[in-house]
Amino acid sequence: MNRIHNFSAGPAVLPVPVLEAAKQASIEYNGCGMSVMEMSHRSKEIVSLFDETSANVLELMNLSSDDYTVLYLGGGASMQFAMIPLNFMKTSADYINTGVWAKKALAEGKLVGNVNVAASSADKNFNYIPKEFNFDPKADYVHYTTNNTIYGTRVKDIPNVGDVPLICDMSSDLLSRNMDYSKFDLIYAGAQKNIGPSGVTLVVIKKSWAAKAEKEGNMTMLKYSTHIGADSMFNTPAVFPVFVINETLKWIKSEGGLDAVEKRNDHKAGLLYDAIDNSNSFYKAAVANKDDRSTMNVTFNLESEEKESEFIKKAEALNMSGLKGHRSVGGVRASIYNACPVESVELLVKFMNDFRS
């Protein structure tokens, strides 16, 4: 198998055991004589697959199925930007603006009701995480994004929002670390960055809050209650992506769970940031404050765009792909999600040192 070193921001690298399982399931699943993509979503095998996947999600998050339910929805995280205010904004909501995706979520909220920007890092092109917040204690909810893929920042600590419901977009760092997931009323994530392929969005929602907070009058497909009541099968769901998510969750468990995954992610990020910080400014971290740095997306610059282009071209010649920064900010970006091997990061660090020399 000729696998390159994949640093793409998403769709992103998946564990090889997961790809092998997906290869087999695409031909025949569970001894059924057909592909998992050919089976009825109402069959007992697929219903069991969804149940197992949800159980694995909640187990890794240390959440109870009595309190939370798991949904598998279409439309990407961008659909959630709209569904959340349509369902839960009755008067006003607080949004923390830390990047492009947070800004897009905020814009959708403004189409529905009154949005209070509780904090923003737009003044410095989103290269830091705000530390002071102007929360409204009467807000219908607070929304924020944990990890900002484009800029390489991460909200390290869960904001203290009091009794206000807390909603979070975890698209690019879901299940990359251990945290108190019970502090959230709704978590959502496009699967394609850290837990699976594109085509499905994972939503974890507190049942009691959804039941009392959801507004009336929404169209059927845009109501969370529709999908909660139908166990994500009101319409035909994206079965194959859910299968891959489940295999990825089983892989996380086999690796030692979130504590082990977090330790390895911190190690990988540490290798890269050390190479940047110890380069005598040859490489310059896009995020200066170490507490604000993402462990999923390491962003940095060289002295010129020409030098960055040369760096990326030579890295590609060594089978390192996906290092070009987002078109809106340029530079270099190494996305080192859960499934990115330590060996890939070690090779990148060696190349960085060689290129600098």
CATH T-level assignment (fold) for domain 256-356: Aspartate Aminotransferase, domain 1 (3.90.1150)
Is 251 labeled as catalytic in the residue annotation? no
Among the listed residues 94, 140, 185, 193, the single catalytic one is 193
Is the CB of residue 175 less than 8 Å from the CB of residue 195?
yes
Task: Give the pLDDT band (50/70/90) at residue 1.
Answer: low
Among the listed residues 94, 140, 169, 173, the single catalytic one is 169
Other beta carbons less than 10 A from residue 216's beta carbon: 6
Residues 251-274: tens digit of each pLDDT: 999 999 999 999 999 999 999 999
Among the listed residues 94, 101, 140, 173, the single catalytic one is 101
Is 169 labeled as catalytic in the residue annotation? yes
Residues 107-124: tens digit of each pLDDT: 999 999 999 999 999 999
**Torsions phi, psi of 237, nearest 5?**
-80, 170
Task: Give the pLDDT band (50/70/90) at residue 82.
Answer: very high
Is 101 labeled as catalytic in the residue annotation? yes
CATH T-level assignment (fold) for domain 16-254: Aspartate Aminotransferase; domain 2 (3.40.640)
Integer angstrom CA distances of residue 253 from 111, 149, 194, 243: 41, 25, 14, 16
The span from the CA of 182 to the CA of 206, in Å, is 9
Packing angle of the helix pair 100-112, 76-88 (nearest 10 deg): 30
Residue type, 48: S
Tokens of 61: 């998050």
Which ranges of 299-341 does DSSP label H, i.e. alpha helix?
305-317
Q: Where are the domains of the chain?
A: 16-254, 256-356
